[in-house]
Amino acid sequence: MALDLATIGWTTSPYKLAYDWRTLATYALGVGAKRDELPFLYEGTEGGMKILPTFGVVPAHGPVVEVLAKTGGNMAMIVHGAQTVRSHGGIPDRGTLETVGVLKSIYDMKKFAQVIIETRSSFEGQLVYETTWSIIFRGEGGFGGERPPSDDSPSAPKDRPADWAFEDRTSPEQALLYRISGDQNPLHADPVFAERVGFAQGPILHGLCTFGYLARAVVKHACAGEPTRLKTLSAQFRKPVWPGDTFQIEGFGLGDGRVALTTRVKERDEAVLGSAHAVISQ
């Protein structure tokens, strides 16, 4: 089914997400948080729980799914192309977030179509998260539409070693755990469905789970463990990741709080993220 270009600019009604420590801990566990990251997992932390800024994707799930359905495309043929999260300050460890989504663009990539969705989440009227989602509809391209703009993301330097490195293995159950936070696409749970849509090896890990592992690495090594310093995180999803894979993440400081990032899967020595970068407050 062809995408409906007339839906560009369409905006959802506000979605409300009431959350508490359980919501936050479930998300942190879903992106691999360990016992030595207890402030992200335990509600008894002095001063309240710490919250990864990539939690901002969680209240956006509802609006994003509604926007995708509005396009008229085949939801069984979508994959995540890229993600950006911008954080405008911390949130308390309980409360209600209100989120609105808008369909910004639909681009023609010949074989594929790229849908760009933006969301804005507020806490008690104050903007706390902005997200940008690039969603790829396989088989929906070739409609003569506008091509996506060129990518101007910073690249990791090739003439010097990384400033820091982070390695962490996902569990075989990682996608089943991450999906509890809101992304229930059967591609990440159902082997029969995964094979039917082209992944014979089985359900793949959510791109946003990989994105959360990236955030943990940046917070630990570039933010001295303080998540509110991570203001922007962005990455493209280049290759599939399977539960049980091991991430090798490296960071390269570029000055002015900018960090270029690389992410590989150790078992295949394969880059799985591209154009990844972060902005850190000083």
DSSP state of 200: T
Question: What is the per-residue pLDDT for 43?
Answer: 94
Question: What is the per-residue pLDDT for 175?
Answer: 97
DSSP string, 98-159: EEEEEEEEEEEETTEEEEEEEEEEEETTEEEEEEEEEEEEET---SS-PPPPPP------SS
pLDDT tens, position by position, 33-77: 999 999 999 999 998 899 999 999 999 999 999 999 999 998 888
Distance (Å, rounded) from C-alpha 88 to C-alpha 97?
13
Report the CATH number at residue 154: 3.10.129.10
Sequence-ordered list of residues with C-beta below 8 angstroms from that of 66, at least 6 positions apart, any chain: 12, 101
The 3-state DSSP class for residue 239 equals: coil
Phi/psi at 26 (nearest 5 deg)?
Answer: -60, -45
Tokens of 166: 């982070």
Tell me which of 56, 88, 101, 183 is the catalytic residue: 183
Active site residue 207: yes
Tell me which of 135, 204, 249, 280 is the catalytic residue: 204
Are 136 and 112 within 8 A, CB to CB?
yes
Distance (Å, rounded) from C-alpha 222 to C-alpha 232?
13
The 3-state DSSP class for residue 7 equals: helix
pLDDT tens, position by position, 127-136: 999 999 999 9
Question: What is the per-residue pLDDT for 1?
Answer: 54
**Cβ neighbours around 109 below 10 Å, total:** 17
DSSP string, 42-78: -TTSTTS----GGGGGTTTHHHHHHHHHHHT--GGGE
Q: How many domains does the chain have?
A: 1
Distance (Å, rounded) from C-alpha 219 to C-alpha 213?
10
Active site residue 204: yes
Looking at the chain, the number of H-run helices and the number of E-run strands are 5, 10
Residue 75: burial class (beta carbons within 10 Å; 0-12, 13-18, 19+): middle
Distance (Å, rounded) from C-alpha 184 to C-alpha 64?
13
Tell me which of 188, 206, 221, 277 is the catalytic residue: 188
Tell me which of 73, 141, 207, 251 is the catalytic residue: 207
Distance (Å, rounded) from C-alpha 260 to C-alpha 211?
14
Q: What is the pLDDT along the chain (282 residues), one digit of tens a residue?
A: 589 999 999 999 999 999 999 999 999 999 999 999 999 999 999 988 999 999 999 999 999 999 999 999 988 888 899 999 999 988 999 999 999 999 999 999 999 999 999 999 999 999 999 999 999 999 898 888 899 998 889 989 999 999 999 999 999 999 999 999 988 889 999 999 999 988 999 999 999 999 999 999 999 999 999 999 999 999 999 999 999 999 999 999 999 999 999 999 999 999 999 999 999 998
Domain assignment of residue 266, given as a range: 5-280
280: amino acid identity, one letter: I
